[in-house]
Structure 1
Amino acid sequence: MDVDRTKKIVGVDLGGTTFTVGVMDFEGNVLSRLDADTPVEDGPIAVMNKIVEYIDMAIEKAGLTGKDILGVGLGAPGILDVEKGINIFSPNLKWHNVDMVTPIKEHLGVPVFIENDVRVAALGERRFGAGKGRKYMIFIALGTGIGSGIIINGELFRGSIGGGGEVGHMVIDSNGPRCNCGNYGCFEALAAGPSIVARAEKAIKSGLETKIFELAERDVTKITPALVYRAAKMGDKVALDVFRETSYYLGLGLVTLTTVFNPECIIIGGGISKAWDILMPPAIQMVKTRSFPGSRDVVEIIPAELGDSAGMIGAGVLAMEKLEKGFTL
């Protein structure tokens, strides 16, 4: 469908702590960006009102008016009914059945679209980032959990009821630690940020000498993945062992994804990806040696390019592509 590409798009990346609003054009150029705290404790009405307020501010900052906006995309955590624009359940936001579309649509008078936050980041990387031009790719966000967006033949894979792509809950060790989802040995329980902290704490409590403890001011509650990475860069054996084990499980997960989906590339983003030089080489080597022949020969494992703008830009891409296909939610 032909759309007026002289008009602009608003992208909103909503998180449980902060949110980002940006105005962009159809070439992916960000014309303005604003960041703000998410007032979760004040309830969903207050959050949506603040988002609307910041959309207005971002439009004004870009030197535009509401008449210049063609549509709005919004990425949010949780289980979403994307057709009705409802956030069914989001633990991070403490929301149940919240209408995310109507407040914005009634204010701006333009179509508004929602999707899971990691999935929209995948859309952003595919159209304007590391996955540009790729039709088969997987975006993985490594942070406090492991989220993903899977692109198959250029389209976002959602599954039969919208639950597709929950790669963080693939079981890769049936005897592994309990995951937040209630299962045992999930990918994210073994390879996400908290697993790095847990391994460091275990080593310290077992009596091993490590710079991690010194950097944490001898307080295990102050240990973070970034701190463990600092110790690893200093050559600390315990920290390097922590990353070696984490990389092993990350590699196992990537082997499974490579074999099952045969992607052109797997793009790794999120806070934990900042430890790329230590974390990723062993995982990539595992993919190249243990994935199914053929698939392992074509897959590239590469860092994300859009950084902390991926969610906001990806939300804009969501709106662009829905409008291009004639959707008017």
Structure 2
Amino acid sequence: MGIHHGAILRILRDDGPQSRAELARRTALSPTALTHLTAQLLKDGTVTELTQAVASGAPVGRPAVNVALVPDANAMVGVHLGAGTIHATITDLKATPKVKASLYFDTASSEPTAVIRQVVKTVEGLIKKSGVDRSRLLGLGLGVPGPVDTERRRNLLSINYDWKDVPFADELETMLSMPVVVEHNVSAMALAESRYGIGRNATALLYIYLRTGLGAGLVINGRPFRPGGHGAVELGHIQVVEHGELCSCGSTGCLETFLSEGALTRAVNIDKPHPRQLLAVVERHPDVWNAALRHLTTAIASATNLLNPDLIVFGGHLAEAPESFIDSIRKSVPPRVLPPMRDALRFERSSLGNGGGAIGGAAAALDQLFYSGVSR
């Protein structure tokens, strides 16, 4: 599949059915070239033709025909790695999940080889459960906790797991016999929200995700922002208190020392792993709640002044937070950012739902393996 195919598919994904004349205009292709390319896509079933209804009173003639994407023509596997969790899904070409699976494991047994075996087991089970023909699977997108290399194949560092330079793509491609794309997990969620969720009309979307740690991902004009080429926006490691508590990253007073699963559960005496509705429990402890909100407000205001997002989306525990959390952020952040940003800035909960990280993995792989037009 060539680059021009990718341009056609992206237009159909984002804007729905189009006439060939409109596709030719928007891709700057000649009508002959456009017809040739759409014929190839029709042949492999990726697109279809839709006959437009003729309006009453319109001149009699040949009815107009639009070209439309066929979302179920192929499928993509998406996987999200968290601390002690694997979430997986199989989606269509618009990252809509068809089946899901989750696996929890002991982080004490988190050597990369063991986790890779768990991912393979989870994915193989999901493929069997879905009944999808493997020939329709385009590949796998893996969201990992921490920065990745510029080729999107290796997890360079994961503080929670103490991983360094793990070659996930090489290992999984060998074991699953399909192409693999590796992406920073929260950057992948930000991309999914921008492409297919609540952020489709946002110019710059900052996605903030709270689970084991506090991560962020930024998408600008539909493109993931990859500082240093590695993808991670380490919001959780902004220092909010000088000479504060030692953080897992080696610094002190980081936001994660106040706002992470470990910090919050210790502060409110929860001993259950991966608690649900965590912030609703924290709200009943005013000192912990107020400190977390105060420091998060500082971090978001700093990130907004630096990165200029017009939409901030909350995922993980933040997506489940009480409405008082969103109200506080909406009230407290705008006065602390530059005036031009105040009126444009929006705050929303993630629209991805449960398994958003796996949908993010699929979205990252769809971008690289299908909509780029570079390889397939």
Q: Structure 1-normalised TM-score?
A: 0.82
Provide the C-alpha distance between the structure 2 equivalents of 1:106 and 1:115, rounded to a whole number of angstroms: 18
1:259 aligns with 2:302: no
Q: What value does the CA root-mean-square deviation take over the aligned residues?
A: 2.9
Q: 2:127 aligns with which of 55, 59, 67?
A: 59
Contact kept? 2:145, 2:158, Cα under 8 Å: yes
The one-character-per-residue Cα deviations of 1:9-28 (angstroms, maximum 9, x if unpaired) are 11111223121221110122
Match of 2:80 in 1: 13
Task: Give the secondary-structure state (helix, strand or coil) at the position aligned to 1:101.
Answer: helix
What is the alpha-carbon distance in structure 1 between the residues aligned to residue 110 and residue 233 of structure 2?
31
**Correspondence for 2:98:** 31
* SS of aligned partner of 1:305: coil
Deviation by residue 1:99-147 (Cα, 9 ceiling, x = unmatched): 2112332345432100111111111222222222323110001233210
Evaluate the alpha carbon distance shift between residue 98 and residue 257 of structure 1 in structure 2; reply closer, same or farther with a 3 A threshold: closer
C-alpha separation between the residues in 1 aligned to 2:375 and 2:322? 40
Is the 1:143–1:192 contact (alpha carbons within 8 Å) kept by the matching residues of 2? yes
How many residues get paired?
Answer: 306
Whole-angstrom CA distance in 2 between matches of 1:67 and 1:112:
15
Structure 1 unaligned regions, length at least 5: 201-215, 234-238
Sequence identity percentage: 28
CA displacement 1:58-86 (0-9 Å, x = unmatched)? 22322212101112111111342251612
Deviation at 1:325, TM superposition (A): 1.5
Counterpart of 1:182 in 2: which secondary structure? coil
The counterpart of 1:50, out of the listed 118, 123, 135, is 118
Match of 2:346 in 1: 300
Q: CA, structure 1 residues 19+154, in 2 after alignment: closer, same or farther (shift >3 Å)?
A: same
For 1:152, give the aligned amino acid. Answer: I
Q: Post-superposition shift, 1:97? A: 3.2
User: Which residue of the other structure, out of 69, 73, 78, is the alignment partner of 2:141?
Assistant: 73
Q: Distance in 2 between matches of 1:29 and 1:13?
A: 15
Which residue is equivalent to 2:365? 319
1:289-314 per-residue CA deviation (whole Å, 9 max, x = no partner) reads 22110111101011112133111001
Compared with structure 1, are the counterparts of its residues 16 and 198 closer, same or farther at alpha carbon in structure 2 (3 Å cutoff)?
closer
Is 1:285 the equivalent of 2:331? yes
**Match of residue 172, structure 1, among 225, 240, 246:** 240
Q: Distance in 2 between matches of 1:50 and 1:192?
A: 25
| 2:158 is aligned with 1:90 | yes
Which of 49-58 and 307-316 deviates more?
49-58
Greater Cα radius of gyration, structure 1 or 2: 2
Matches within 5 A, 1:160-309: 160-162=228-230, 164-197=232-265, 229-230=280-281, 232=283, 239-309=285-355
Give secondary structure in 1 for the equivalent of 2:90.
strand
Q: Report the TM-score when normalising by structure 2.
A: 0.72
Task: Give, in angstroms, the shift of residue 38 of structure 1.
Answer: 4.3
